[in-house]
Amino acid sequence: MIELIRYTSVKTISIFVLFLLVNVFLTASYAQTKSILVLDQEIDRYKVGQYLEILEDENKEYTIEEVSSPRLSKLFKPLKSDSINLGLKDSAVWVRFTVQEDKFTEEKGVNLKEWVFDTGKSDNFDFADFFCPDCVESPEFVEEKWSVERAGKLRTEDGKCFLHKPSVFALPRFSVSPKTLYLRVESIGSMWLIPMIYSKESYLKESKKENILVGIYYGIILILAFISLYTFFVLKDRTYLYYAFYVVTIGLWFLFDQGIIVSYFFPSLGKLNTQLTLMDYWLLLFSALLFVRSFLMMKTYALSIFRLFQLIMAAILALMILTPFADFLLMNQIASMLGLITIIMIIIGGIVCFSRGFQPARLFIIAWAVILTGGAIKFLSFLGLIPITKLGFHSFQIASGIEVVLIGFSILDRIRILRRERKHLMDIFGKYVSKEIRDEILAGSIPLDGESKEVTVLFSDLRDFTTMVEASAPKDVVIIINDYFTDMSYAINQHHGLVLQYVGDEIEAVFGAPIALVDHPNHAVRAALDMRNRLEVVNSKLGKKGYGALRHGIGVHTGVVVAANIGSPDRLSYALVGDTVNVASRIQELNKEYNTDILISATTRAYLDSDITVEKLPERKVKGKRKPVEIFKVI
């Protein structure tokens, strides 16, 4: 067995080493730059990378005459891939390649095509100069020893570029003799190119496809932004406003990053484009955190991460303020690192919230994993750590498009789950209050922070229940008390009352709060009468189950109370405070002395309808009151 493992290990290692050697050999072979690109009229596009040589001008001082001289010509280095990626730079780069027309073009009888050179960079360079020797005179070219086509967002005068796209240059007509062309680009930031030569017809087709895809992307961004704003105005949930803010900042960032705003809308912003791009990037990170902490309800599910997000957001604001004054390359590096850290923290936050029961986080985590993948590819390409490709360059934009759609679905999932939970809570809440009161409270129509109002308070208490509890099994006690509370609560709710609490075998209810109720004393007394009738029904049910009959006493009093949400920050309850509550409770206790079941105060009696018959009883002093209280028995 050991020998087999050794053999397998050695074989595996050998194959791996062989793979590396083959890969190095192929890479080395591929790195050999071909000398001349021959433009065949039957081919529409060429990858130019294998024909390119590059020279970095760190001091930005070389002229076309110098780089084309024998002294500097030998310093050019062949390109090792189809793309140039030098990472973050504050320098100039010279690129040269040699082209010629296919010598059999005339023999084939093919009309000469028009060619364009595409750098592959969708946003503009600070400066870009395309040089060719002995070009045919054209109004699009400045006549010097070298014909030059100038472009760049920092030019004092706008250069003329093919189709007004700064990254594409029209090639001159060639003869069958080779011509060496030079491109000088200068930018502060990411320095990369994916050079291609297209026929004009082929480029227009390719450009049309790209424009359609770009249009679809920004269309998705606009639609999601409008839907989110509409949802915010309908549901009054700021999460959707934050999401709209986030989506808009994504769209703006790509508009700045790709030079679309400068090229097509505000050319005067050319010199500020790099700063505005970075400023909008900070705003993008800020809006993402603002949305995420609201969407995931982090104050509830992940308070520590919520506080960490606050610190990151404060740091982002500080960096945004420093951006105009700090070194741009340094700020770019910080922005890239902080962007990846932010995405990772967002994913961790989503996982934590999901693990703690927040179900809408499931699609959310997938969405941000997609953006992390795209961001990582863009980040590593941005720093020059991996080769740049068109797909890699657009990876973050593609990922962001997928992400905003997935987050849109996760928002729908959040709405669905929250509605389900709300319905569940409403069903539970409806067991404690009437449907009308429940709907008013949930709609926010009732102030729960404290108000003084006149109400009628009802207390109900079972007689000799303690003795019954001691003589009965716990299961029987639960059955009896639940049957009693069910019918009594129903009677209270039917007369627009609110059961505030159950304390042992006692019920506390209020009429006239939190919703104002006209003629609440009558409603309270009629509820008491209904409770009397329902007690007979309860006793009939209990008798069939073999239990003894119940007796209760009810006290009703009308007066002013303070109604509010009362308790600790962790647990609140809607409660009444004041002398009225105490008097109602004392009146209920007097039923024992008078051997009655419903007693009311004179205050309540003054509001009663004539069809409710009462009998005045002798005045009695109750605990907490100096003067005797007038008592009436409801017949």
* 499 close to 509: Cβ distance less than 8 angstroms: yes
Q: Over 80: is that where the pLDDT of 54 sits?
A: yes
449 pLDDT band (50/70/90 cuts)?
Answer: low
Q: What does the pLDDT read at residue 382? A: 63
Q: Over 80: is that where the pLDDT of 328 sits?
A: no
Class in CATH terms, 447-634: alpha beta
Q: Which of 273, 261, 260 is nearest to 210 (CA)?
A: 260
Of residues 18 and 476, the one with the higher pLDDT is: 476
* 268 close to 277: Cβ distance less than 8 angstroms: no
31 pLDDT band (50/70/90 cuts)?
Answer: very low
Q: What does the pLDDT read at residue 26? A: 36
pLDDT tens track for 491-545: 998 998 988 889 888 999 999 988 888 899 999 999 999 999 999 999 988 888 8
Looking up tokens 């009054």 gives 236
Burial class of 273 by CB neighbour count within 10 A (0 to 12, 13 to 18, 19+)? buried
The lowest-confidence range among 97-106, 182-191, 288-297, 456-465 is: 97-106
Mean pLDDT to the nearest integer, 626-633? 90
Q: Over 90: is that where the pLDDT of 598 sits?
A: yes
**Spatial distance between the Cα atoms of 500 and 481, rounded to a whole number of angstroms:** 17
Of residues 61 and 25, the one with the higher pLDDT is: 61
**Spatial distance between the Cα atoms of 229 and 235, rounded to a whole number of angstroms:** 10
Q: What does the pLDDT read at residue 136? A: 45
Q: Over 50: is that where the pLDDT of 83 sits?
A: yes
CATH fold of 32-202: Immunoglobulin-like (2.60.40)
Q: Over 80: is that where the pLDDT of 376 sits?
A: no
Q: What is the Cα gyration radius of the chain?
A: 41
Q: Which of 129, 612, 210 is nearest to 398 (CA)?
A: 210
List Cβ neighbours of 43 (8 Å cut-off, separation of 6 or more): none
Q: Which of 127, 231, 235, 140 is nearest to 189 (CA)?
A: 127
Q: Over 80: is that where the pLDDT of 577 sits?
A: yes
Mean pLDDT to the nearest integer, 321-325? 87
Distances (CA, A) of 534 to 369, 433, 466, 480, 527: 60, 18, 21, 14, 10
Asked whether the whole model's pTM tops 0.95, one would answer no
Convert 137-158 into a string of H (helix), E (strand) and C (coil).
Answer: CCCCCECCCEEEEEECCCCCCC
pLDDT tens track for 229-262: 888 888 788 888 998 998 899 888 888 877 677 6
Q: Which of 124, 188, 118, 189 is nearest to 152 (CA)?
A: 124
Looking up tokens 């594409």 gives 168
CA angle 113, 170, 126 (to 5 degrees): 160
Parse the chain into domains and list their residue ranges: 1-27, 32-202, 237-426, 447-634
* 574 close to 593: Cβ distance less than 8 angstroms: no
Residue 464 sits at φ, ψ, to 5 deg, of 55, 30
12 pLDDT band (50/70/90 cuts)?
Answer: very low
Q: Which of 477, 597, 483 is nearest to 540 (CA)?
A: 483
Task: Say if strands 115-118 and 196-199 run parallel, antiparallel, or are unpaired.
Answer: antiparallel
Burial class of 477 by CB neighbour count within 10 A (0 to 12, 13 to 18, 19+)? middle
474 pLDDT band (50/70/90 cuts)?
Answer: confident
